[in-house]
Amino acid sequence: MESASLLEKGRGDTLNLDTTDREEERIVVVVVMELAKDRDDQEMMLKKRNEELEKALRESKWREEKMISELQRTWERLRVAEEAEERLCSQLGELEAEAVNQARAYHSRILSLMNDLSQAHNLLHLHPVTN
């Protein structure tokens, strides 16, 4: 009877061990599933973050291209303005030279007229006109 109770006890222990092993297997499966779920969640978060970063990069590149284009247009306008300034300075120089030449010509004409007036005045004093 003692051997029967040992056998039963052994079967009970085996049953308990089997039950414990199954519970451990279930726990391991649950833990593995949780880890897999966590990994999947992390992968999803990383994928979402990567998509956000890629979108931000595309937007940044678009803004950069827009700024480069705007800078090129501004640079071209500056070049045109500088060329116009050079032409205006050249024209102004020509006009100033022409104005100086005209002023000299007017000054010569005034001196000539003053000389003529002086001669006429002297003639009138030398030969007064009587009425």
d(CA 63, CA 58) in angstroms, rounded, equals 9
In a domain, 119, yes or no: no
In a domain, 128, yes or no: no
**DSSP symbols for the chain:** -HHHHHHHHHHHHHHHHHHHHHHHHHHHHHHHHHHHHHHHHHHHHHHHHHHHHHHHHHHHHHHHHHHHHHHHHHHHHHHHHHHHHHHHHHHHHHHHHHHHHHHHHHHHHHHHHHHHHHHHHHHHHHS----
In a domain, 71, yes or no: yes
The domain of 65 spans 1-100
Least confident of 1-10, 17-26, 78-87: 1-10
In a domain, 43, yes or no: yes
In a domain, 111, yes or no: no
**What are the pLDDT digits (tens) for 40-96?**
888 999 999 999 999 999 999 999 999 999 999 999 999 999 999 999 999 999 999
pTM more than 0.95: no
In a domain, 35, yes or no: yes
Instruction: Place 3 in a pLDDT band, splitting at 50, 70 and 90.
Output: very low
Largest CA distance in the chain: 185
Cα Rg of the chain, angstroms: 55
In a domain, 70, yes or no: yes
Report CA 84 to chain centroid distance, whole Å.
28
In a domain, 90, yes or no: yes
Instruction: Place 19 in a pLDDT band, splitting at 50, 70 and 90.
Output: low
Number of domains in the chain: 1
